[in-house]
């Protein structure tokens, strides 16, 4: 098999230590794992105790030294954050080295820049670990599902929020209490904002969108609603109505007849969503992730598994390294490579205005318990051509009447109109919740 492939790790935290663990114990794995050699590792704090034993000469606190080391052929960036990660990735590419990264934040924001640089340099940048932890989803979208016209990608792609939502549904616990336990158990960070406010899921759906539909979209324009304002009351009502609340990231083509020559309109968003119990995503609990891909002619496929954690994420990183090792085994390659996002830049895509997004809605109003209020709220929807699937009054002794409405599919612009009209009704005290609904 010739000389080993030199691997340089940037970071030896949760993911980095997992990767080093696999490389140190190749037995029973794909035979190419034994052809990988960990030659350099960067950390921030040289004194910190590590779960992995490494020759001290391997470890440095200068990440640039790892990138520049001539024995490093593949740079594995598992340090996180935007900088210096981005600069180090660009430096590796410029040096003609392959890059593997788990860093969704960098790829969601600088993916295009990185992909063009990689294409120009003829090197690979692979990102399987950036979405879905151990679940293979990047490769399927790039290749195994390539024969399809993708209609929609939707998924539970943040394990922390799914853990919180699962416990809220199963035990009726309030958001703040579950978050605290999740932090104690290490399932949520001390600063949980990126997870609970939906930004992590938005990074990931931005990446999946580019791969599924063939063109990058502006990460910062993705409408994003987290679970931090979700009330356990709505989780309970969801259960009573036959739904589960999940933080769902969705990307779908809006006009399925659009010519490929025009820019493709996409509706992309992250939001708490009521999922009917018989939907395959409804049963995804705990820190698991699942991604559903719908397309023609495949129909629906779902990928399910551990969305984070040392071992699963390291599994995805090593998959990418093996990919590079396999290509290298093909011998000297004379043509140009197909780096990461090249295959995702064959078409122009754009995000539609949020008011054009079509979806079913769950809304909850606080209202006075006066006769006929349900009818008047219903008419307000009906007058605007919004058909309703169900309208239910729940008794919330503390809050007067609570009226929950589930609509059929409607544009968010029309929905806003109706909500404005309803909340200005004298007997309606306010809009207490507005979720999306599958």
Ligand X SMILES: NC(=O)c1ccc[n+]([C@@H]2O[C@H](COP(=O)([O-])OP(=O)(O)OC[C@H]3O[C@@H](n4cnc5c(N)ncnc54)[C@H](OP(=O)(O)O)[C@@H]3O)[C@@H](O)[C@H]2O)c1
Site residues (vs its own copies, CB under 8 A): 18, 21-22, 27-33, 128, 134-136, 139-140, 143-149, 214, 260, 280, 283, 295-306, 309-312, 314-319, 321-323, 326-327, 329-338, 343, 346
Q: How far apart are CA 199 and CA 222, in angstroms?
A: 10
- 41 near ligand X, rule: CB under 6 A: no
User: What DSSP character marks residue 119?
Assistant: H
User: What DSSP character marks residue 245?
Assistant: E
Nearest one of 378, 423, 369, 421 to 396, comparing CA atoms: 369
Region of 238 (left: φ > 0; alpha: ψ -120 to 50; beta: rest) is: alpha
CB of 67 to its own copies, least distance (A): 23
Give the 3-state secondary structure of 389-426: EEEEEEECHHHCEEEEEEECCEEHHHHHHHHHHHHCCC
- Does 15 carry a binding-site annotation? yes
| Residue 349: count of CB within 10 angstroms of its CB | 22
Q: How far apart are CA 126 and CA 304, in angstroms?
A: 20
- Does 172 carry a binding-site annotation? no
> Binding residue for ligand X (CB under 6 A) from 28, 48, 261, 334?
48
Tell me, yes or no, if 4 is annotated catalytic. no
Q: 85 or 418: whose CB is closer to ligand X?
A: 85
Structural contact between residues 21 and 59, judged by C-beta atoms closer than 8 angstroms: no
CB of 52 to its own copies, least distance (A): 13
314 binds, among its own copies, ligand X, none (CB under 5 to 8 A by kind): its own copies
Q: How far apart are CA 278 and CA 174, in angstroms?
A: 25
Q: 87 or 336: whose CB is closer to its own copies?
A: 336
Structural contact between residues 245 and 438, judged by C-beta atoms closer than 8 angstroms: no
- Does 12 carry a binding-site annotation? yes
> Binding residue for ligand X (CB under 6 A) from 15, 119, 293, 428?
15
Nearest one of 83, 90, 136 to 339, comparing CA atoms: 90
- Does 139 carry a binding-site annotation? no
Q: 334 or 397: whose CB is closer to its own copies?
A: 334
CB of 364 to its own copies, least distance (A): 29
Q: 7 or 42: whose CB is closer to ligand X?
A: 42
Helix (H) or strand (E) holding 353: none
SS3 (DSSP) at 197: coil
30 binds, among its own copies, ligand X, none (CB under 5 to 8 A by kind): its own copies
Catalytic residue among 4, 97, 180, 204: 204
Site string for ligand X, 164-203 (x = CB under 6 A): ----------------------------------------
Known binding residues for NADP(+) are 10-17
* Residues belonging to the active site: 204
Known binding residues for L-homoserine are 189
| Residues lying near ligand X in the complex (CB under 6 A) | 11-16, 42-45, 48, 61, 63, 78-80, 84, 102-104, 129, 133, 308-309, 313
């Amino acid at each position: 098999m010739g000389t080993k492939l030199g691997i340089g790790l940037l970071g030896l935290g949760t993911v980095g230590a997992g990767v080093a663990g696999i490389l140190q114990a190749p037995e029973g794995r794909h035979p190419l794992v034994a052809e990988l050699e960990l030659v350099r590792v960067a950390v921030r704090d040289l004194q910190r105790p590590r779960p992995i034993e490494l020759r001290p000469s391997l470890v440095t606190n200068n990440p640039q030294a790892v990138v520049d080391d001539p024995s490093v052929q593949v740079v594995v960036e598992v340090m996180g954050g935007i900088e210096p990660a981005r600069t180090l990735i660009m430096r590796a590419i410029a040096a003609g080295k392959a890059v593997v990264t788990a860093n969704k934040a960098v790829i969601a924001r600088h993916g295009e820049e990185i992909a063009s640089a990689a294409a120009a340099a003829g090197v690979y940048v692979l990102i399987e670990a950036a979405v879905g932890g151990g679940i293979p989803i990047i490769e399927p979208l790039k290749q195994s599902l390539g024969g399809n016209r993708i209609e929609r990608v939707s998924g539970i792609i943040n394990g922390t929020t799914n853990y919180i939502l699962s416990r809220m549904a199963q035990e009726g616990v309030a958001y703040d209490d579950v978050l605290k336990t999740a932090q104690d158990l290490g399932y949520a960070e001390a600063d949980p904002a990126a997870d609970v406010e939906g930004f992590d899921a938005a990074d990931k759906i931005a990446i999946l969108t580019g791969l599924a539909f063939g063109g990058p979209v502006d990460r910062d324009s993705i409408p994003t609603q987290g679970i931090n304002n979700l009330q356990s009351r709505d989780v309970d009502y969801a259960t009573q109505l036959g739904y589960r609340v999940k933080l769902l990231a969705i990307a779908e083509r809006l006009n399925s007849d659009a010519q490929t020559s025009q820019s493709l309109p996409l509706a992309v968003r992250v939001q708490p969503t009521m999922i009917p119990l018989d939907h395959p995503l409804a049963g995804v609990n705990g820190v698991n992730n699942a991604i559903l891909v719908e397309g023609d002619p495949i129909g629906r496929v779902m990928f399910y598994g551990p969305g984070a954690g040392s071992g699963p994420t390291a599994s995805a990183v090593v998959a990418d390294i093996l990919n590079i090792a396999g290509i290298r085994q093909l011998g000297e390659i004379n043509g140009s490579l197909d780096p990461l996002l090249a295959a995702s830049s064959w078409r122009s895509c754009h995000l539609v205005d949020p008011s054009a997004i079509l979806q079913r809605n769950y809304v909850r109003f606080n209202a006075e318990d006066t006769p006929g209020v349900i009818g008047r709220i219903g008419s307000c929807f009906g007058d605007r051509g919004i058909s309703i699937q169900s309208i239910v009054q729940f008794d919330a002794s503390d809050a007067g009447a609570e009226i929950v409405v589930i609509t059929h599919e409607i544009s968010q612009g029309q929905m806003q109109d109706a909500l404005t009209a309803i909340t200005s009704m004298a007997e309606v005290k306010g809009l207490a919740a507005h979720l999306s609904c599958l």
